[in-house]
Amino acid sequence: MDQNEKKRLAATAAIDHVEEGMLIGVGTGSTVNFFIDALGAMKRSIRGAVSSSEASTSRLAGLGIEVVELNEAGTLDIYVDGADEADPNLHLIKGGGGALTREKIVAAASQKFVCIIDDSKLVDVLGQFPLPVEVIPMARSYVGRQLVAAGGQPELRTGFVTDNGNQIIDVHNLRLSDAAAMETRLNQIAGVVSVGIFAQRPADLLLIGADNGVRSMGPTSTQVAPDSPLARTE
């Protein structure tokens, strides 16, 4: 089974957590695109969606799903998003697509955070994937020096501007054995807008697409059999 099919399985499994009348937070990325496509079939039974990026907003609107501004929505029932890495504590690295700040805001505003990934994203310790840090442009050199002091190797993501008009520094070689402590430390650097560590607000449920179906990690762990409706390939 290829990686895209595993992503599709996880995204389809997330639809089971969407109920009639819900207001849905929607993340960004290739796995989330599968979720958005599946959500289109439910557009008349949900109240709408709050999007974490311009790209997801466009995809949702193209399917006829009402997109609501977070300031008007209040607390969201559920947030569904992918991750670049996830560990057994449901801590995440996110921001490979550059939408980490808005993703973190929508996650914080949601009662439940369901994270959908393929099994290549599950790691024992976060940090193999370079950590995205969104920074105010005038602060990028200062922030870079502070990231070196924290033990990382910062690299400016050239030619990229976030939806908020800021820049991204990708930090290599940070082994996040205490992800929550590092999140707190980096958030305190002047000029940092947001850090791509989701440990202060981790996922509530992780849905992992794999060769043998969808596995969940959270309050309980279950295995979806390949012949389950969640594992259909058509």
What is the distance between the alpha carbons of residues 154 and 26, in angstroms, rounded to a whole number? Answer: 29
Segments forming the whole domain that contains residue 164: 131-196
Catalytic annotation, residues? 103
CATH number at residue 149: 3.30.70.260
CATH code of residue 88:
3.40.50.1360
pLDDT tens digits for range 125-166: 999 999 999 999 999 999 999 999 999 999 999 999 999 999
**pLDDT on residue 175:** 86
Q: Are residues 136 and 64 in the same domain?
A: no
| Interval 202-229: pLDDT, tens | 999 999 999 999 999 985 454 443 444 4
103 and 219 assigned to the same domain: yes
State pLDDT tens for residues 76-110. 999 999 999 999 999 999 999 999 999 999 999 99
Query: Are 77 and 56 within one domain?
Result: yes
- pLDDT at residue 1 in the model: 85
137 three-class SS: helix
The answer to whether the CB of 39 falls within 8 A of the CB of 12 is no
73 lies in the same domain as 32: yes
Domain count, the chain: 2
118 and 135 part of one domain: no
Tell me, yes or no, whether 89 and 176 share the same domain: no
Co-location of 109 and 145 in the same domain: no
Same domain, 40 and 94: yes
Q: Report, as an integer, the average pLDDT of 14-35.
A: 96
Task: Kindly state whether residues 154 and 222 are assigned to the same domain.
Answer: no
Torsion of CA 34, 40, 41, 45, to 10 degrees: 130
9/62 same-domain check: yes
Same domain, 105 and 206: yes
**What secondary structure letter does DSSP report for 26?**
E
Q: Are residues 73 and 183 in the same domain?
A: no
| Average pLDDT of the residues in 21-33 | 96
